[in-house]
A and B are shown apart, each in its own frame.
Chain A
Amino acid sequence: MRNFKSISRGFFIHATLIFVSLLSVFPFIWLLSTALKGNSENIFQYPPVFFPQEPTWDNFKGVWNQIPFMLYFLNSMVVAGFTVLLNLILSALAAYPLARMDFKGKRVVFYATLATIMIPFQAIMLPVYLIVLKLHMVDSVNSVMGYLGLILPFAVNAFGIFLMRQAFLAIPREMEEAAFVDGCNVFQIWWKILIPMVKPTLAVLAIFTFIGSWGEFLWPSIVLTQKSLYTLPVGVNDLQGMFSANWRYIAAGSIIATIPILVFFIAMQRYFISGENDGAVKG
């Protein structure tokens, strides 16, 4: 009897989880199905046809020829790459004194940093834009300035600083003292002793910063004026305007733009689903 109960319970759990999984992927699958349907198929047909009758790559080729996806991809890589690099360096630098040193104003610095967590970017984006304009960090000046405007406002945040601080706090102080006795200066202690020990945390910070930066839409859509600097999310949104009624192209373009992050996710999946990155999952 007990056995029957646990089997039916297992069945119930699997049925529910399979249902949730289907809901999670269905919007993408339906998009893919539409993208694979050729012009001879009516995509508004009733009842809807799930498997394309004559699957074709034509929509993918067509949208690829009209939209510079490689350029958008490279722009996204530059922006996300430098955003990650700066976040790693600046967070690890700022976290060190907050974790280890005594200095005047430490409390003020600590709580001021904490306060920035509570300031939503959406509430201050207008002045951020005005400042970026004042610093000429916009794409109408040149591409480098355009990239700077996309990257610098997100070069560091309090989540990263606190995450690195926690990592430094977990290292025994004896490590630094020994290094000091051996003649390392404070910068060498940071770079040669501490940084190698917090590599796992740096990896977590890098991955989540990358995902955040890669998917960012609001800020690039505010600052960008030149298509040559469009990142992938901005380019994808642009598909709607370019092919207003052509859902085959919009679908194909959206799928193309999703491939890079999908590859990244599959490659790095253990970081996302291990469930041990408690402090790192937001931001």
Chain B
Amino acid sequence: MYKYYKKYVPYLFLLPAAVILILFFFIPFFETIILSFFDYNSNIYAPQFVSLANYTSLLKSPVFYKVLLNTFIYLIVAVPFLVVIPLIIAIMINQKIRGITLYKIIIYLPVIVSIVVAAIAFKWLYAQQGILNYVMALFHIDALGWLTDPNIALYSVIIVTIWKGIGYYMMIYLSALMSVPKDLYEACDVDGANPITKHLTVTLPHLMPTIGLVTTISSISAMKVFVEIYVMTKGGPLDSSKTIVYYIYERAFENLDLGIASAASVILLIIVLALSVINFVFFENKQYQL
């Protein structure tokens, strides 16, 4: 094939995007790492190089342990729900039933609506004299301090994340379901298999890559959760619902403790990088090949 462009032309096309990516991705990436070796606490205008001191002080801090534990709980609790519930719903919607479009629209609705509005709506459901505690009372369960009890607040916030994510992952499953060969189902019908066996033997094996994809994507977004916490609990009570991004936000923009915030950011970076590498190597390796 002959060349119809001059040597410098490819770079011209790349230039505008490169400027943005360098300015707002690569420089900040390296700056985060550099900042994490400096102490801004004593004097924000004269940072001191402290090598790994920020990391050691993070690892000694009980609050940071709490934060890591909360983040881990977030992931462990939210991800299974976000992998399984959307899958079941997608399989149900994928049957030839009436009202598919309407179901899809309604179940996708929480994805579209601003997370700020969703968090406010749930805060209202969770109110001490709110409707959720009323429903609990109907079942003779004592009222819960959904967002005020340190043992519960984190899980109340996780519920919002799950609620908001179901429609999103359902769509990913639905598009994967479209590629399951129909004749496999027909073979099952001939064998007289019941619907559950059918899905266990045909659908599930076929969807394994998608299940893996949803697992890694939902894990990554669980690591990055922020707005729900910011709007509903501000990380409280007693740090019980504080996760790593909220911690970084608080350190960086409220305490102006840039060094500690950056060290925590590097830890977040490492975890997300690891999850992303797993994702690319195993599940998304088609689209991103030269």
Complex formed: what's the CA distance from A176 to B5 in Å? 11
A13-B95 contact in complex given A118-B272, A251-B124, C-beta closer than 8 Å: yes
Q: Counting CB contacts under 8 A, is B93 at the interface?
A: yes
A48-B131, A254-B120 known; A120 and B115 CB under 8 Å?
no
Structural contact, A162 and B287, CB atoms closer than 8 A: yes
A222-B253 contact given A162-B287, A173-B1, A273-B171, CB 8 Å threshold:
yes
| Contact indicator B28/A128 (Cβ below 8 Å) | yes
Q: Are A27 and B125 in contact (CB under 8 A)?
A: yes
Chain A contacts for B46, CB-based, 8 A = none
Contact pattern, B 263-282, Cβ under 8 Å of A = 1, otherwise 0: 00110110011001100100
Bound form: Cα–Cα A218–B26 in Å? 20
Does A269 lie at the interface of the complex (its beta carbon under 8 Å from any beta carbon of B)?
Answer: yes
Contact across chains for B25 and A31 when beta carbons are under 8 A apart: no
Q: Which residues of B contact A68 (CB under 8 A)?
A: none
For residues 87 through 110 of chain B, which have their beta carbon under 8 Å from a beta carbon of chain A? 89, 92-93, 95, 97, 99, 101, 103-110
Task: Please tell me which stretch of B14-22, B55-63, B73-81, B144-152 contacts chain A, meaning at least 4 of its Cβ atoms lie within 8 angstroms of it.
Answer: B14-22
Task: Please determine whether A120 and B112 come into contact, CB atoms closer than 8 angstroms.
Answer: no
23 contacts between A and B (CB under 8 A): A24-B106, A27-B163, A30-B125, A94-B13, A97-B9, A97-B13, A126-B262, A126-B265, A128-B24, A156-B16, A156-B20, A215-B114, A215-B115, A217-B116, A233-B114, A233-B115, A237-B120, A237-B231, A239-B120, A261-B112, A272-B171, A273-B104, A276-B178
Which 9 A-B pairs give the minimum distances between C-beta atoms?
Answer: A127-B28, A97-B10, A94-B17, A127-B31, A27-B121, A118-B276, A124-B28, A103-B10, A275-B175
Residues of chain A having any CB pair with chain B under 8 Å? 9-10, 13-14, 16-17, 20-21, 23-25, 27-28, 30-31, 34, 44, 46-48, 89-91, 93-94, 96-98, 101-103, 106-107, 109-110, 112-114, 116-120, 122-131, 152-153, 155-156, 158, 161-162, 166, 173, 176-177, 180, 186, 189-190, 211, 214-215, 217-218, 221-222, 232-233, 236-237, 239-240, 247, 250-251, 254, 257-258, 261-262, 265-266, 269, 272-273, 275-279, 281-282
